Chain A
Amino acid sequence: MQALIEARGLSKDFGSLWAARDVSFQVEAGEIVGMLGPNGAGKTTTLRMLSGLLTPTEGEAFVGGHSMQHAQQEARKGLGFLTGDMDLYRRLKPAELLNYFGRLYEVPETTLKSRVAQLMNAFHINEFGDRFCEKLSTGQKQRVSIARTLVHDPKVVILDEPTTGLDIMASEFILQFIRSMAKEEGKAVIFSTHHLDEVERLCDKVLVIHAGHLVYAGTPTELNAQTGKATLADSFFQLVNA
């Protein structure tokens, strides 16, 4: 099966620091991959290189088989990307925002109409659809943000800490949606998180990044077997403290 996401030797030099060094991995359709690492490990830098926000100093990123460096427009068409650094236009209503991004992704108007309605329904956005985005709660904003990420029905979804700041109900809602995206719609999903329980519950694979290096790529079960620990948390601490 062809990988929908491929990181091939990604490195990023910020002058005084290599934030990522020779990071390589693949994610296939229907897979959910959790990215773990302490703060400053290089998770966000790696995800930004995958999305084309940052240009790698070395290496190349591929989304849907298209190079993010050499065929950026094509690669981006198949990518839905959300980080905690992204917010909503405060003076737009959720449907206006979804339509705006749908048009930027050149979704045909007829498809866009039904897609926006579908997402508004799936994320229960209709309940607060008449409010401007600046008036929404953190959980409501996150639902709109994820809907925005999916408006063009991308094959690849990258979410950087999607449950940060959310209460347990909102987090669960997002996690269930991630599961259905991968398992029912066949999307390839990477999400970074600090919640190891989310990875244990959802992920087929786990990537552990530490000091810019990818120190583990495989299933959570294999990781526990490799470290000889009983829980993912213990395995993670052993890896990053080694």
Chain B
Amino acid sequence: MRSHIIGTIFRKEILEVLRDKRMLFLVILMPFFLYPVMFTLIGFVGKSQGEKLDTEKVTVLLNPQAESTPIYELLKTNPTLEVKLESFEQTSLDTMKNTVGVVVADGFQSSLDSNQSATVTIFYDTSKDLLEGRVRNIKASVEQLGQNLLLARLNEKQLPQGFVKPIDLREQNIAPQERVVGKIMGRFLPMLLLLFIFTGCIYIAIDITAGEKERRTLQPLFTAPIKVREIIAGKFLATYTVGLISATMNVLSLLVAMYIQVQLLSGGKAGEAFSLPISGEGWAWMALIIVLATAFMAAISIAVVLLANSYKEAQSYVSPLMMIIIIPAVMSQMPGMELTSTTAMIPMLNISLAIGAIFQGIFNVGHILTVVLFALLYAGLALYLASLTFGNENVVTGEKVKFKALFSKK
């Protein structure tokens, strides 16, 4: 293979991409605007909804018999509740806007005085976020009242608190903040990253293969004194480069947008929230894995869309291909799914698990090496498939390529 021929094809493909406004926008410029705008919008909506949930008043209908109980006094102290002493039918609450019903059982005080349990029942629609939030507050207040009454009873009987709580069970999170953040990032970032790489690869792959077939520009290449392998190498490098740039742009834009949002919501403490447990070695492995994942996706994209005869037909292959990427990435998030010597051999799943493990700062170098070796193997196989497709006579003549004919030289 001659590097200057490959370089010539590569430069021409990149020049055409740079002149294609649609491609530039989709692959490179859109991420710059999409995520900041999307996150800002989500932030604004989230903030205004949060404020509404915190401040909007909710009516509490309390049965009149409860006026003399501490429950009434307790509810009145909450400024987000408007307490009305009023009898109600359970079914009528449905028709009332933002209303909760509270019933204090008859004999509330006498039950307490005789060291019995007194019943308080809350009626509300659990499907409404606002009511759910307020009821949570009411329950917390009533439970605190119950705790105070319990302490008073224990004091009266001169019993310690441990009398009603023989075992004081406690738990302590020993994971550093970085690992917690790494776990969260490791859950969703691999899938996003793989999707970004795929999106970056697939559209240029379609343009320079099926698109060229449709535009009838492949044949002149096949009559030039160049080898099929050189054509593939030039086109593969162009697809790979755009895929890598697209993924980098997407991830950077996403992280910057997230950082800004967290900074706004945490009052300037985004630095702590974003600290990750990734060492220099981890970043190096991550870079290598991303480079290989991009190589695999660039190669498989070219191999598959080359089977199509038109841009439109090639686009119909995008969804099934995307499933091949997403399903292993989703599987990697299943409980108990870890990077092992077996999972390190499964295409795409291994990449997703490896990135997740590196984000958490817990990875086995042997497993990562296996991932690297198998990613190389799969990229090589995908390129071999691409070369079979390119070498097929039907591609040469711009006709439909039959899959079964790929393995014949005809």
* A residues adjacent to B (C-beta < 8 A): 48, 51-55, 72-74, 76-77, 79, 81, 83, 85-92, 96, 100-101, 103-106, 132, 148
Minimal beta-carbon separation of B402 from chain A (angstroms): 11
Least CB separation from B20: chain A residue = A91
Interface residues of B in 345-376 (CB under 8 A from A): none
Inter-subunit contact B217/A86 (CB<8 Å): yes
Q: Which residues of A contact B226 (CB under 8 A)?
A: 104
Least CB separation from B230: chain A residue = A104
Least CB separation from A79: chain B residue = B223
Partner of B5, one of A83, A85, A91, A104: A104
Minimal beta-carbon separation of A80 from chain B (angstroms): 9
Interface residues of B in 376-410 (CB under 8 A from A): 393, 396-398, 409-410
Inter-subunit contact A101/B216 (CB<8 Å): no
Inter-subunit contact A92/B15 (CB<8 Å): yes
Inter-subunit contact A89/B12 (CB<8 Å): yes
Inter-subunit contact B16/A92 (CB<8 Å): yes
Inter-subunit contact B216/A87 (CB<8 Å): yes
Decide yes or no: A87 and B215 within 8 Å by CB, A53-B396, A92-B12, A148-B220 being known contacts: yes
Q: Which residues of B contact A148 (CB under 8 A)?
A: 220
Inter-subunit contact A88/B393 (CB<8 Å): no
Q: How far does the alpha carbon of A101 sit from the alpha carbon of B222 in the complex, in Å?
A: 11
Q: How far does the alpha carbon of A104 sit from the alpha carbon of B6 in the complex, in Å?
A: 9
Q: How far does the alpha carbon of A197 sit from the alpha carbon of B226 in the complex, in Å?
A: 37
What are 10 of the A-B contact pairs (CB < 8 Å)?
A53-B223, A53-B396, A55-B409, A73-B225, A76-B223, A76-B224, A81-B223, A89-B217, A91-B16, A106-B5
Partner of B224, one of A74, A85, A96, A105: A105
- Check: B4 CB closer than 8 A to any chain A CB: yes
Inter-subunit contact A51/B20 (CB<8 Å): no
Decide yes or no: A86 and B219 within 8 Å by CB, A76-B225, A101-B224, A104-B226 being known contacts: yes
Inter-subunit contact B223/A52 (CB<8 Å): yes
Q: Which residues of B contact A55 (CB under 8 A)?
A: 393, 409-410
* B residues adjacent to A (C-beta < 8 A): 4-5, 8-9, 12, 15-16, 19-20, 215-217, 219-227, 393, 396-398, 409-410
Partner of A104, one of B216, B219, B221, B409: B221
Inter-subunit contact B217/A83 (CB<8 Å): no
Inter-subunit contact A91/B19 (CB<8 Å): yes
Minimal beta-carbon separation of B404 from chain A (angstroms): 13
Least CB separation from B17: chain A residue = A91
Least CB separation from B231: chain A residue = A104
Q: Which residues of B contact A86 (CB under 8 A)?
A: 216-217, 219-220
Q: How far does the alpha carbon of A87 sit from the alpha carbon of B217 in the complex, in Å?
A: 5
Q: Which residues of A contact B19 (CB under 8 A)?
A: 91, 132
Inter-subunit contact A104/B393 (CB<8 Å): no
Q: How far does the alpha carbon of A74 sit from the alpha carbon of B12 in the complex, in Å?
A: 24
Q: Which residues of B contact A101 (CB under 8 A)?
A: 220, 224
Least CB separation from A90: chain B residue = B215
Q: How far does the alpha carbon of A53 sit from the alpha carbon of B9 in the complex, in Å?
A: 19
Partner of A85, one of B8, B227, B398: B398
Minimal beta-carbon separation of A229 from chain B (angstroms): 36
